[in-house]
Structure 1
Amino acid sequence: METNLDNHRQAKPCIQARNLVLGYEKDRQINTVAANVSFDLFGGELTCMMGPNGVGKSTLLKAILNQNLPLKGTILMGEKEIGLLDDQDRAKTIAVVLTEKIRSGLMTVRELVALGRTPHTGWLGHLSKTDNDIVDRVLKMTHLDLISGKKLAELSDGQRQTAMIARALAQDSGILILDEPTAHLDLTNRFEIMYLLKKLAKEADKAILVVTHDLEVAMETADQLWIMSHQEPLVSGSPEDLMLEGQIQKLLPGNKWEIDANNGKIRLKNPSVLPEITGPKHVRHWVRNALRKNIDLPMPEKIITTDNPLEIIVYKAQKSTSFSSISAMIRFFKKGTL
């Protein structure tokens, strides 16, 4: 199987690692969290890291940020080991957006974004013309220029998250790392933020790594996926390749759930007792979806569907009953009159 470590042979990764062993020492005991971790992170791509809780995603992030170096193996940024970079050089190279709450709602959007220039200006924070030009460019790039004078307390959740991303972009670093940037956002803003990151990766040629549990959004937006699972090597590749190879299933340990190979959505595994369903593909899909959620109900022998108008004809013991909605069919089953 070809992985993304075999791809991009002509390109040079911003960060690369091979055969890392990740963990920590506690009470003089070495606790290994993950092993055989290898990856390449490339500029111009949005990469999403996914995996169940406890597999070492946070430990890997800390290793990349030099907060908890790997027990074995090395991480290279360009030609240099991560641990050999001083803090200021690292801040100029990697920008980070964590799931932190903004403490001062009285700060304006522009003031927050300008804080991203701190690694270049020092703590006195005097902005040169170059610094101000970069802040202006980032505000425009993230569509915050029209609200740059607004207080953070006046913003929506999506706008605040975008402002945090803009602050990181103002560092003018080649690498941007974000931990669960869409965790507290509604469905629309989750997609907006991730499409913004995808656009920034491409247009600004940045290597963007996002840790997320949001499979739907990752499948829709990511150029590359890193999948970590218990006691297994990190798997990497495009979302589409990993889906076709069955590697995406590693995100769902156990036998209860599966990821639909057609649409990437999580669902209960198809039980064997579902009836034969015929008719238009999209109607069959949603009828089957409703039956999976109500698998404990009595099941018919066969279902025939039509659309325009919707009709669902249920067959049981040579009798048929017709419904004009899926909810009406399920309520009929719940009465036990099938």
Structure 2
Amino acid sequence: MSTSNPHIALEARDLGIGYNAKKVQNYILKGIRFSILQGELAAIVGINGVGKSTLLRTLGRVQRKLAGSIWVNNIPLEHHTPLELASKISIVLTEPIASKNLTVRELIALGRQPYTNWLGTLSPDDASKIKNAIAMVGLEALQYKKCYELSDGQLQKVMIARALAQDTSLILLDEPTTHLDLYHKVHILKLLKSIAHETGKTILFTTHEIDMAIQLCDKMVLLDQKGNTFGTPGELIQQKHFEGLFPPDTIRFDPDTASFKVNK
């Protein structure tokens, strides 16, 4: 990790998430609490429909929180202007790319939008950030290809590179391994881990790949219908938090192998 004295990069205090509908607050979850340090890789996990994506979108101020507070670098989220947030948080959501007709390099360059002048002119510093992002993710050979020519795994790497080019201290990703085979899932998550540990950026992502998150993450936010638990994978295993995640007659958690087993 690039810092010898990491500080809290992202913190949730009694956070309530959900939706406002006809002036009524519809809560999905309440009382969410966690704090992630600079340079850590962390995952939000839980069963389908529990609120993983809603939590991530709320943390990135894509949608409004219903209660509690979110702190980015020890400053409340709402105290940041949109431009300040764009220089602190980059978000990779699951929505399809607006134009796959762009080249890889052009799409990655969009990450510099918060910093360019009103004409969108790239400075030498912008060009350097783009070049570094392409190199870090290993996209040199693909940078002049059109995005529609890429596989899902390659496109996911491009989106990560765009977030890196934005050069924020915090990166939020929603399901970065969806539609990928096992090899490419592992490749993407190992890439995220190396980026977090080598650059000191804090990376938080949602995932269904709980086994992989246990193996690779520094911290995990585990959501269930009762709220959330948070800690290192080892702490969550020791406290038996994974064992009640799925119906025990179908899937059980084996603490010895830190993995889920199908009951045949």
Same fold (TM over 0.5): yes
Unaligned runs of 5+ in 1: 1-9, 270-291, 293-338
Write the deviation string for residues 13-62 of structure 1: whole angstroms up to 9, x where unpaired: 11112112223332333322211211112211110100112322233223
User: Mean Cα displacement is larger for which, 81-90 or 197-206?
Assistant: 81-90
Cα distance in 2 for residues equivalent to 1:192 and 1:154: 20
Show the counterpart of 1:284.
Answer: none
Provide the secondary structure at the position in 2 that maps to 1:119: coil
Kept in 1: contact 2:9–2:36 (CA 8 A):
yes
Show the counterpart of 2:251.
Answer: 257
Shift of 1:123: 5.5
Show the counterpart of 1:204.
Answer: 199
Alignment of 1:157-176 (within 5 A): 157-176=152-171
Name the aligned partner's letter for residue 262 of structure 1.
D
State yes or no: 1:108 paired with 2:103: yes
Using structure 1 for the length normalisation, give the TM-score: 0.72
Write the deviation string for residues 304-336 of structure 1: whole angstroms up to 9, x where unpaired: xxxxxxxxxxxxxxxxxxxxxxxxxxxxxxxxx
User: Mean Cα displacement is larger for which, 205-214 or 10-19?
Assistant: 10-19
Cα distance in 2 for residues equivalent to 1:196 and 1:104: 25
Call closer, same or farther: CA 1:253–1:32 in 2, change over 3 Å.
Answer: farther
Shift of 1:89: 0.9
Kept in 2: contact 1:48–1:224 (CA 8 A):
yes
**Largest Rg, 1 or 2:** 1
Structure 1 vs Structure 2: percent identity of aligned residues?
37
Cα distance in 2 for residues equivalent to 1:190 and 1:198: 13
Cα distance in 1 for residues equivalent to 2:73 and 2:211: 32
Shift of 1:186: 0.8
Which residue, out of 222, 225, 240, partners 1:246? 240
Cα distance in 1 for residues equivalent to 2:236 and 2:225: 17
Using structure 2 for the length normalisation, give the TM-score: 0.91
Call closer, same or farther: CA 1:13–1:169 in 2, change over 3 Å.
Answer: same
Show the counterpart of 1:63.
Answer: 58
Name the aligned partner's letter for residue 13 of structure 1.
I
Show the counterpart of 1:34.
Answer: 29
Call closer, same or farther: CA 1:11–1:168 in 2, change over 3 Å.
Answer: closer
Structure 1 vs Structure 2 CA RMSD: 1.8
Runs of 4+ in structure 1 off by over 6 angstroms are none
State yes or no: 1:85 paired with 2:101: no
Alignment of 1:161-240 (within 5 A): 161-232=156-227, 234-240=228-234
Cα distance in 1 for residues equivalent to 2:134 and 2:217: 23
Kept in 2: contact 1:69–1:83 (CA 8 A):
no
Count of aligned residue pairs for this structure pair: 260
Call closer, same or farther: CA 1:92–1:44 in 2, change over 3 Å.
Answer: same
Which residue, out of 9, 15, 20, partners 1:20? 15
Shift of 1:227: 0.1
Cα distance in 2 for residues equivalent to 1:205 and 1:159: 24
Name the aligned partner's letter for residue 134 of structure 1.
K
Show the counterpart of 2:138.
Answer: 143
Call closer, same or farther: CA 1:122–1:262 in 2, change over 3 Å.
Answer: farther
